[in-house]
A and B are shown apart, each in its own frame.
Chain A
Amino acid sequence: MPNVGAELASVPFGKMIYDMASAIARSQVALDTASIQLVQVLARTTFDYVPDVVETLLPNPRQVKGANGAPLMDDDGNPVMITGVLVQTDVGTAFPLTLLQAGVNPTFYAFTNSTIEVKMSITSTQESSNTLSVGVSVSASADFLFASGSVSSHVNFTSSNKYSYSVTGSSSMSTTLAPVPPPKNMMPRFFLVNAIDISKISISQS
């Protein structure tokens, strides 16, 4: 008789879990390495950052010109003036800023959920058949001097047993990869020292 318990016990769960965990660990190291390389790229990539642009609106009075280009005068003989506006732009000094400082962070990934699924199907069939045939033949003859008779019998017995046993199994492994915030130990710390007002120097960390 098939022993289902023994078949299940023969499934190498321990090895499967170890292989999967090992593969996840190797993948995690590779992903972290790639993310750390990206941190270095982001820390080296700079662009010129313009901190501010000041636009100042200044008065720009102009005299209105008439049809022939001559200054237009009102009824009292005074020139017609419009206020006008002059936009003075003052672009702050640009300084290099890295993408990391600017706010571009590398994405780190982590395996959040892993599943191992094993499906097993055990089929066992047993078929027995027995055939018994018995035959008896009797013959008798008689004539003038003597008589004779014969009896013969035969027994045929056939026995057959068919036995089949099959085990099929399948396994599947799945894992979920999710983006996670950068680990603190893998990201540089930024200190901002605000020394605009010397009497109120403040330091903040992000």
Chain B
Amino acid sequence: MAFQMYMVVFHGEFSQGTSRAVQQHIHKLNGFTLMVMKTGIIVAFDDSLVPAVQGHPGVKMVGGVTLSPHGYAADRLQRIFAENLSKQIQIKTE
């Protein structure tokens, strides 16, 4: 049981509807969308949920990814991921 980053690749041409449907599906599984692109999305969710995400009809493949600090835009991507993550996390106070 561990959160990991995944690249979720869509079937066929880019469709706004498919992209949203997959994001909502992942959100229902307590996952988070980190970045959205035309070919797919970079998300974070529990590794035990890979089959559930893979089972969505709009999903072609799911593969684990990591962020290399040596990448040309790694720091920017990290900032984008953090910003998008912060918009989806609700901090609950007692």
Q: How many residues does chain A have at the interface if contact means C-beta atoms less than 8 Å apart?
A: 22
CB-defined contacts of B7 to chain A, threshold 8 Å: 38, 41-42, 99, 104, 106
B74 in contact with A38 (CB, 8 Å):
no
Answer whether residue B37 sits at the interface, using C-beta atoms and an 8 A cutoff.
yes
7 residue pairs of the A-B complex, CB under 8 angstroms, read A34-B63, A37-B63, A41-B61, A41-B63, A104-B65, A104-B66, A107-B63
Number of A-B residue pairs having CB atoms within 8 Å of each other in the complex: 76
Q: How many residues does chain B have at the interface if contact means C-beta atoms less than 8 Å apart?
A: 23
Q: Closest residue of chain B to A206, judged by CB? A: B70
A104 in contact with B42 (CB, 8 Å):
yes
Answer whether residue A45 sits at the interface, using C-beta atoms and an 8 A cutoff.
yes
B13 to chain A, nearest CB (A): 14
CB-defined contacts of B77 to chain A, threshold 8 Å: 102-104
A: which residues have CB within 8 A of B? 34-35, 37-38, 41-42, 44-45, 47, 49, 97, 99, 101-107, 109, 179, 206
B: which residues have CB within 8 A of A? 4, 7, 9, 37-40, 42, 61, 63-74, 76-77
CA distance A104 to B71 in the complex (A): 7
CB-defined contacts of B63 to chain A, threshold 8 Å: 34-35, 37-38, 41, 106-107
CA distance A101 to B74 in the complex (A): 9
Partner of A103, one of B4, B39, B72: B72
A38 in contact with B61 (CB, 8 Å):
yes
